[in-house]
């Protein structure tokens, strides 16, 4: 399926509000003794912002069937992030336009539209929703509260959205004169509220989760831990390179869920994952996790799949971003019929960090068309795409730190690699 379709479909769905608004916009200004242009801008930004706001809830609901339209859950989350920021900016413009439309005639009315001090309930409720949203966005984009607390606070977004729905329908922005616009906004309202209730309230009760027990914990370095888990009830099927959301039940470890790539699965259903101690949670996991802990798995997710690529491929992995390539290497070891031609570039700071080099060395001995290249920053420096033979003719798969990816992408483009030939997963939303 074309994974470029999703973003287009959702942006078009959001901006469909514009032609629908145009059907009745002259009617909407009859009751106003204000600058018509400012009123029009305030209405357009409000309705478009509302549409985008509604769609962000659908994109954040982890609906597996939508992944094919975006090329993976990470792409959906990035779309959610972009639309959320656009919605916030548009909703912010809405009251500002209404407020300045009273200048210089009655500057005192500025407060009516900027703060919840208006005499009308339906306008005040919109102000309360917007100021609550502003506060939450400050903690999201500026202050950066801890992930577990941010995740809890983010659930209040749905309440602010419901207040916005009440605001729109109480004002009756000529909805009665425009059946198409009324239906459109009603569909978005229902979709947004339903998606929010599903993800924030019902998700843990309705989504299928697999129960595993930790049977082995290997601390491979001062930062990296490898965890082996055995299914308690049933195993699950996954495509090599996919990830699950893991939540552990053990003393001293938070129950929040985080995504980790499944590096390998045995015939008995045992799986391994790799975690790097970067933040508070992962450091806690590194210190406290022991044999016997219970894990809940949700998934799998992801569309990062070498089997969808061409024959000649380049894999570039850095840090724990090597995990999907470990999964792919283990898959290739089991497949005698694979005809892919792969150059893997394992990027580390020092050779001691290349904890899974033996996995790739074994595959190199078994498979003539697989080659491992260890790139040590302290010896070879950083990877230069110019050193990759015939790089413009190959399909590139990248997984690693954001800084590595940002450095590689323009260099790959400079050497003739098209955007369509570059694939990566990105869960960094900063």
Residue spans of the domains in the chain: they are: 5-204, 210-301, 309-424
What per-residue confidence (pLDDT) applies to 127? 79
Work out the pLDDT band at 279, boundaries 50, 70, 90. Answer: confident
Q: Of 354, 357, 305, which Cα lies nearest the Cα of 332?
A: 305
With pLDDT > 90 as the criterion, what percentage of the chain qualifies? 40
pLDDT (average), residues 8-15: 93
pLDDT (average), residues 115-134: 75
- Residue 217, token pair as written in the block: 């914990």
- Answer whether 210-301 and 309-424 agree in fold: no
- Residue 1, token pair as written in the block: 């399926």
What CATH number is given for 210-301 in this structure?
Answer: 2.40.30.10
pLDDT in tens, 238-261: 899 999 999 999 888 888 889 999
Question: CA gyration radius for the chain?
Answer: 26
Contact 90, 49 (CB under 8 A): yes
pLDDT in tens, 189-239: 999 999 999 999 899 889 999 999 999 999 988 889 999 999 998 878 889
Question: Which residue bears the tokens 């930790």?
Answer: 214
Work out the pLDDT band at 68, boundaries 50, 70, 90. Answer: confident
What per-residue confidence (pLDDT) applies to 359? 92
- Residue 429, token pair as written in the block: 């939303």
What per-residue confidence (pLDDT) applies to 30? 41
Fold for the domain defined by 309-424: Rossmann fold (3.40.50)
pLDDT in tens, 312-359: 999 999 888 899 999 999 999 888 667 899 999 999 988 888 889 999
Is residue 322 packed enough to be buried (19+ CB in 10 Å), middle (13-18) or exposed (0-12)? buried
Work out the pLDDT band at 170, boundaries 50, 70, 90. Answer: confident
Look up the pTM and report it: 0.84
Q: If you average pLDDT over every residue of the chain, what do you get?
A: 85
Least confident of 27-41, 152-166, 213-227, 266-280: 27-41
Task: Extract long-range pairs of 19-26: CB within 8 Å, 24+ residues apart.
Answer: 20/178, 20/180, 20/181, 20/184, 21/47, 21/178, 21/181, 23/178, 23/180, 23/181, 24/174, 24/177, 24/178, 24/181, 25/174
């Amino acid at each position: 399926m074309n994974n470029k379709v999703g973003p287009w479909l959702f942006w078009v769905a959001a901006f469909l509000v514009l032609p629908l608004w145009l059907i009745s916009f002259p009617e909407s200004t009859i009751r106003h003794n204000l600058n018509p242009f400012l009123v029009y801008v305030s209405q357009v930004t409000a309705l478009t912002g509302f549409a985008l706001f509604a769609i962000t809830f659908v994109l954040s609901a982890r609906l597996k069937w939508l992944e094919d339209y975006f090329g993976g859950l990470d792409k959906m989350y990035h779309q959610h992030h972009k639309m959320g920021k656009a919605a916030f900016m548009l909703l912010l413009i809405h009251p500002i336009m209404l407020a300045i439309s009273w200048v210089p005639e009655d500057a005192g009315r500025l407060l009516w539209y900027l703060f919840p001090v208006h005499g009308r309930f339906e306008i005040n409720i919109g102000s309360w929703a917007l100021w609550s949203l502003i506060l939450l966005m400050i903690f999201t984009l500026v202050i950066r509260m801890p992930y577990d607390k941010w995740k809890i606070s983010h659930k209040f977004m749905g309440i602010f959205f419901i207040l916005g729905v009440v605001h729109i329908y109480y004002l009756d922005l000529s909805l009665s004169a425009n059946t198409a616009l009324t239906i459109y906004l009603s569909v978005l309202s229902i979709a947004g509220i339903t998606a929010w209730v599903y993800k924030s309230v019902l998700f843990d009760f309705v989504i299928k989760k697999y129960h595993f027990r930790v049977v082995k914990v290997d601390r491979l370095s001062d930062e990296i831990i490898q965890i082996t888990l055995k299914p308690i009830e049933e195993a699950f099927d996954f495509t090599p390179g996919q990830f699950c959301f893991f939540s552990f039940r053990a003393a001293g470890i938070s129950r929040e869920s985080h995504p980790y790539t499944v590096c390998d699965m045995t015939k008995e259903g045992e799986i391994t994952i790799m975690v790097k101690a970067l933040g508070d949670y992962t450091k806690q996991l590194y210190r406290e996790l022991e044999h016997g802990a219970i894990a809940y798995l949700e998934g799998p997710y992801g569309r990062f799949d070498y089997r969808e690529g061409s024959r000649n491929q380049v894999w570039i992995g850095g840090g724990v971003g090597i995990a999907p390539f470990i999964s792919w290497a283990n898959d290739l070891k089991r497949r005698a019929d694979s005809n892919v031609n792969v150059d893997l570039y394992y990027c580390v700071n020092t050779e001691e960090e290349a904890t899974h080099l033996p996995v790739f060395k074994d595959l190199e001995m078994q498979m003539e068309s697989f080659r491992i290249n260890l790139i040590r920053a302290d010896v070879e420096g950083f990877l230069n795409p110019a050193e990759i033979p015939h790089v413009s003719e190959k399909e590139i798969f990248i997984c690693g730190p954001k800084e590595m990816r940002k450095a590689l992408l323009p260099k790959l483009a400079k050497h003739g690699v098209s955007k369509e030939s570059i694939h990566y997963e990105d869960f960094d939303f900063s």
